Amino acid sequence: DPYANDPKRHVALKPSSSKPFNAEPPLSLLRHSYLTPNDLFFVRNHLPVPVIDPKKYQLTVTKVGSTKQVNLSLEDLKRKFNKKSVVSIVQCAGNRRSEMVTIKPVKGLNWGAAAISNASWAGACLDDVLKRTGIDIETVDAKHIIFDGADADPTGHNYGASIPIEMARLLKKDIILAYEMNGKDIPPDHGYPVRVIIPGVVGARQVKWLNKITLSDKESTCHWQQKDYKGFHSSIDWHNVDFTSVPPIYELPVQSVICEPEAGSVLEDDEEVTIKGYAWSGGGRGIVRVDLSADGGKTWHSAELSPTEQPLYKTYAWTFWEGTIPLPKDHKGEVEIVCKAADTAYNVQPDNVEGIWNLRGVLSNAWHRVPVKVPK
């Protein structure tokens, strides 16, 4: 069993698959702590968790066509570079996929709305590491940075991903080769001993168990870069899909989710409801507004946003929000509460999931609609 060495997991995590292990925490627990505890952080593994001896760990940095190659140990990363930290969420492109499935089946894990978590990551800055190896990110003659992980399938194909060099230039000081998660060693499920954190970018590019960085003219050739994690319109299905026709997903669209109350729950009160949730957007775009409705989206109220310490145009962490809003008088024992967010570009969430359905069930960010019961 290639999964025999997988770590033990917290009992509260709800698995969507066990081998490889994929799981999300309950939504209400997720909303309890701004920094998600390491053992409750959602897990998205495509392959068995590799067992890496920290003393033997090596990160190789190289450029296609160059004979120079630099190897760094874990101690090198910790001692030779300033430690830099960033609070950043990781969100799977498939977060909220289960809502798309209600329209038409899709291929992918049946994620609820908790395939997203927030942590404080610390490690060496990618830019500093490249500099030390003689590569200037601003002038290097390359189009992509490829990140490879130590996890591999039985034929030896490893997980890997890449980002365009322009993106690395924009994020320059914020891309981190992290060896700490919330002040502790990164746990095995999240990439021990080193993973790359690329704030504002889809989870799929934030490679865990990172052991190689390559500057290249080409994207990563890995399956997950080329034949997965791309967005299509709803008339494209497996018989007519051409994965080369669109670029990979990098930044993610604006997202917001109701964590409390839970779907199907009975409210305590028949006059008002207190709603709590999270919001986030890709590319460092902050959240400027979260709107709440208790009548399916006919009338709206403004939620109160918890302040984040991050500047609006570099918001990599999520924004927690809360609001107490009146219930409609004409409820018949049931109401639909709804949230939607706007980011700094005033990008908004689509009102329904039909229009954004896609064959892989990614980018699911419609208004979050939660049916609840009202006591009579």
Contacting positions for ligand MTE (CB under 6 A): 41-47, 90, 92, 149, 151, 159, 190, 203-204, 206-209
Looking from the CA of 345 toward its CB, the CA atoms found within 13 Å total: 13
Sole residue written with tokens 């190896």: 133
Q: Which is nearer to ligand MTE, 108 or 284 (CB)?
A: 108
Q: Which is nearer to ligand MTE, 206 or 349 (CB)?
A: 206
Q: Which of Mo ion, ligand MTE, none does 214 bind, CB closer than 5 to 8 A by kind?
A: none
CB of 109 to ligand MTE, least distance (A): 10
Which of 93, 99, 105 minimizes the C-alpha distance to 44? Answer: 93
Q: Which residue number has the CB closest to Mo ion?
A: 92
CB of 249 to Mo ion, least distance (A): 10
44 binding Mo ion? (CB under 5 A): yes
Q: Which of Mo ion, ligand MTE, none does 46 bind, CB closer than 5 to 8 A by kind?
A: ligand MTE
**Residues whose CB falls within 8 Å of the CB of residue 31, separated by 6 or more in sequence, listed in order:** 259, 260, 276, 277, 278, 320
Handedness of CA 74, 75, 76, 79 (dihedral sign): positive
CB of 279 to Mo ion, least distance (A): 19
CB of 192 to ligand MTE, least distance (A): 11
CB of 246 to Mo ion, least distance (A): 17
User: Judging by DSSP bridges, how do beta strands 58-63 and 210-216 pair with one another?
Assistant: parallel
Q: Is the peptide bond before 193 cis (omega within 30 degrees of 0)?
A: yes
303 binding Mo ion? (CB under 5 A): no
CB of 186 to ligand MTE, least distance (A): 8
Q: How many chain residues are in contact with Mo ion, going by CB under 5 A?
A: 4
Q: Which of ligand MTE, Mo ion, none does 230 bind, CB closer than 5 to 8 A by kind?
A: none
**Residues whose CB falls within 8 Å of the CB of residue 135, separated by 6 or more in sequence, listed in order:** 61, 63, 215
CB of 28 to ligand MTE, least distance (A): 19
Q: Which is nearer to Mo ion, 193 or 203 (CB)?
A: 203
Q: Which is nearer to Mo ion, 231 or 328 (CB)?
A: 231
Greatest extent of the chain over all pairs of C-alpha atoms, in Å? 75
List 145, 146, 176, 204, residue binding Mo ion (CB under 5 A): 204
Q: Which of ligand MTE, Mo ion, none does 374 bind, CB closer than 5 to 8 A by kind?
A: none
Q: Report residue 192 as tokens.
A: 């021990």
Q: Which is nearer to ligand MTE, 92 or 137 (CB)?
A: 92
Q: Report residue 347 as tokens.
A: 């990008």
List 92, 176, 196, 222, residue binding Mo ion (CB under 5 A): 92
203 binding Mo ion? (CB under 5 A): yes
Q: Which is nearer to ligand MTE, 45 or 182 (CB)?
A: 45
CB of 94 to Mo ion, least distance (A): 6
Q: Which amino acid is present at 306?
A: S
Q: Which amino acid is present at 4?
A: A
Q: Which is nearer to ligand MTE, 35 or 140 (CB)?
A: 35
Q: Which of ligand MTE, Mo ion, none does 159 bind, CB closer than 5 to 8 A by kind?
A: ligand MTE
CB of 308 to Mo ion, least distance (A): 23
**Ramachandran quadrant class, 183 (left: phi over 0; alpha: psi -120 to 50; beta: rest):** left
Q: Which of Mo ion, ligand MTE, none does 14 bind, CB closer than 5 to 8 A by kind?
A: none
284 binding Mo ion? (CB under 5 A): no
Positions touching Mo ion (CB under 5 A) are 44, 92, 203-204
